[in-house]
Structure 1
Amino acid sequence: MVEAAYEAYEDAGIEGKDIQAAWLGTVSSFRTGQPLADALKLDYIPITRVENACATATDAFRNACYAVAAGVYDIVLALGVEKLKDSGFSGLAVPEAPGSDVNPPVPPPSQFALAATRYFHEYGISFEEGKQTLAQIASKNHHNGTMSPKAHFQREVSAEQVANAPMVAWPLGLFDCCGVSDGAAAAIITTPEIAKTFRDDYILVKGIGLSVGAYGILRNDWDFTHFPETVRASQSAYQEAGISDPRQEIDLAMVHDCFTITELIIYEDLGFSPRGRASADVEAGTFTLEGELPVNTDGGLKCFGHPIGASGIRMIYEVYKQLQGKAGDRQLQKADLGLTHNLGGRPGSFTCSVALFGTRD
């Protein structure tokens, strides 16, 4: 938490005393905003602790942005953090519905394995074909991670290694699943007018969408082949940012690749690929660093793991660096408009956040 915050202070050209309010995103580590106040010596300012499953960090960022946009504060901090490795934590808790056998606890690998098998069935994709597509997604992200100094995994993993890895939840193997990690990420939010007094290469928040589903697998309109919350959140963010053709207008996207099948479905939910055609775009290299629309340029959750409260702002960090032209070896030639996406929850009832960032109005 301290390292992330002070890197953000230095980058923004401010000090802790300049922070007027803060939002702390965390799922398992803390119950109040007090640890942020203690660690960063932010005494007596308003600090709000936010939790919204895997969208926690982006939701903390969203609340901080709206506070500035409303004119309540001038300079605020959004920080996401999670310390999972010492806790025995192995994923988001999925409690069983009291007194019910209809909605039993289903661990995340099994949840998304259900989506994978149904998606393959719906679009007539054989196990071998589907596994190869998912393997290319994992291999792409691991390749990008080799150029990310902050990534936890910085090693090439071939599509063959992914396809032949031990099975975790059929058809998802070891390399189809992201890791459990510790981590933190921080962002400083202010108005464009104030930002101009600090630097020339500030980044604008163009739109933010949040969508939360209800009823879980009890609802009869969820088909396991798409995430309605992603569709709704992205449509809200696109409308706010004036985006009509996301595939053509967006230059890069950081999406919630907790599992490779999740990334595949997200391509379609965000409007990057037609329904049932994402596999063809993967085969064509559309989402590689050299492709038409690079996705997860820093390696994604596959290489950073998923410190739940931090992942959303970690994605924003990558878009921020790309739009500034400071992403090092993974820097894209064109990076003017970037997207971040988070998705988490239980089958059929997810929380999703989508944010869009641009270099100028």
Structure 2
Amino acid sequence: MQASRTTAVEEACTDAGIERKDIQAIWCGVYYRFTGLSGTTAADALRLYGIPSTRVENYCASGMDAFRNACFAVAAGVYDIVLACGVEKITDQGSRGLPNVLRDSIPPFMPPASAPALFAMAATRTFAERGWTREDLARVAVKNHANGAKHPKAHFRREITMETALEAPMIAWPLGRFDSCAVSDGAAAVIITTPEIAKKMNHKDDYVLVKANGLAVTTASPMHNPGFDYLGFPATRMAAKQAYDEAGISDPARQISLAEVHDCFTITEILNYEDLGFCGPGEGAAFIRDGRSAADGDLPVNPSGGLKSFGHPIGATGCRMIGEITRQLQG
């Protein structure tokens, strides 16, 4: 865990053209382990003492929320150069990579259902209401594995066929093995600074400006409300609206050139197409069928290979996605 985080931070510092001692504050996304101590362990791993080091825990959005907090700190003028990172070491935890502590921590505020089960309910609802099929889900898996096969840091670097995806063992019908992201270890890091300082760093000619950052929180509880239709995720739509309004995006399907989205399950990516405004309600399956989200489509989605190729080290995923978008924008 410490080694992967240190490696990610060193790579980020080298890319930016700074030294670790230039970092003035740290936000680290970690979901599991070291509860209450993760800020300290980040300082230990990086040998960065005497500066603020804050653990950020927001389940699958932990890494993204670390980035959000780091951006706000720089925008507020409190710091000039900060680090947002995320890390997770869960493959050796037992319980399919999920620590046993979850049995005690989740039931008080979330329904006792697994993630595959909840997203499977979303998939079956779209099958019944919209006529979507397992083939539509498989197209996402095939696309993302093809993208990931080209990425040197992907966990899974191999392409799959439609037949492979459709014939894989079932996890929670209709979601099979290739409809689900893997349990993985990993770390990611991002350096955030001011535009004035960025112009003096390695990427002075192609630094990426953060124009907006939206966050909306929900739990699995609404999914057990009889009125919840499973045809999208309200929190995604609310977060997107926050970011779009702040960035001046009025037509995301036209104004956005590419996207990294949370494909924890294939159905999630398709519903994200709609929730993020890339297509209209009910048009998500057609979006993937028509190749619009392919690498050579009009709005490539998950050109890195997404969670399907990288797995989902929960605390690190958000920062990894930010890093991927940054590389794409820099060409």
User: Alignment partner for residue 24 of structure 1, among 25, 28, 37?
Assistant: 28
Give the aligned partner of residue 271 of structure 1. Answer: 277
Equivalent residue letter for 1:38: D
Q: Is 1:56 aligned to residue 59 of structure 2?
A: no
The aligned runs of 1:114-153 (5 Å cut-off) are 114-125=121-132, 130-153=133-156
For residues 169-205 of structure 1, the C-alpha deviation after alignment (integer angstroms, 9 at most, x for no partner) is: 0001110000000000000000001100112211111
Contact 2:279 2:287 in 1 (8 A): yes
Counterpart contact for 2:237–2:276, Cα < 8 Å: yes
**TM-score normalised over the length of structure 1:** 0.85
Shift of 1:90: 3.1
Query: Which deviates more from structure 2 when the two are superposed, residues 71-80 or residues 193-202?
Result: 193-202
Q: Partners of 2:106 and 2:14 in 1: how far apart?
A: 45
- The answer to whether the aligner puts 1:306 opposite 2:312 as a matched pair is yes
Match of 2:232 among 211, 226, 230: 226
SS of corresponding position for 2:32: coil
Shift of 1:40: 0.3
Matches within 5 A, 1:109-188: 109-125=116-132, 130-188=133-191
Distance 2:286 2:27 in 1: 41
Higher mean displacement: 114-123 or 88-97: 88-97
Among 76, 81, 88, which residue is 1:82 paired with? 88
Q: Cα distance, 1:221 vs. partner?
A: 4.2
Higher strand share: 1
Which one of 180, 194, 213 corresponds to residue 208 of structure 1? Answer: 213
Q: Secondary structure at the match of 2:126?
A: helix
- The separation in 1 between residues aligned to 2:228 and 2:259, in whole angstroms, is 25
More helix by share: 2
* SS of equivalent to 2:84: strand
Counterpart Cα distance in 1 of 2:214 and 2:97: 25
Q: Secondary structure at the match of 1:207?
A: coil
- Cα distance in 2 for partners of 1:166, 1:287 equals 26
Aligned twin of 1:345: none
Structure 2 residue matching 1:272: 3-state secondary structure? coil
Residue 257 of structure 2 contacts residue 299 of structure 2 at CA under 8 Å; is this kept in 1? yes
Give the letter aligned to residue 114 of structure 1: M
**Cα deviation, residue 104, structure 1:** 4.2
Shift of 1:217: 3.2
Q: Which residue of 1 aligns with 2:252?
A: 246
Instruction: Report the secondary structure of 2:183's partner residue.
Output: coil
Per-residue deviation at 1:206?
A: 1.3
Provide the secondary structure at the position in 1 that maps to 2:199.
helix
Pairing 1:29-108 to 2, within 5 Å after superposition: 29-31=33-35, 32=37, 33-88=39-94, 90=96, 93=102, 97=107, 104-108=111-115
Instruction: Specify every segment of 5 or more residues in structure 2 that has no aligned partner in the other structure, as ranges.
Output: none
Q: Alignment partner of 2:156: what SS?
A: coil
Q: What SS class does the counterpart of residue 200 from structure 2 fall into?
A: helix
Contact kept? 2:90, 2:97, Cα under 8 Å: no
| TM-score of the aligned structures, taking structure 2 as reference length | 0.93
Separation in structure 2 between the aligned mates of residue 217 and residue 149 of structure 1, nearest angstrom: 37
Q: Which residue of 2 aligns with 1:350?
A: none
| Counterpart residue type for residue 35 of structure 1 | T
**Could you tell me how far apart the structure 2 residues matched to 1:249 and 1:112 are?**
29
Identity of matched residues, %: 58
* Structure 1 gaps, min length 5: 326-361
Question: Is residue 22–residue 76 contact of structure 1 (8 Å, CA) maintained in 2?
Answer: yes
Q: Does residue 289 of the first structure (1) align with residue 295 of the second (2)?
A: yes
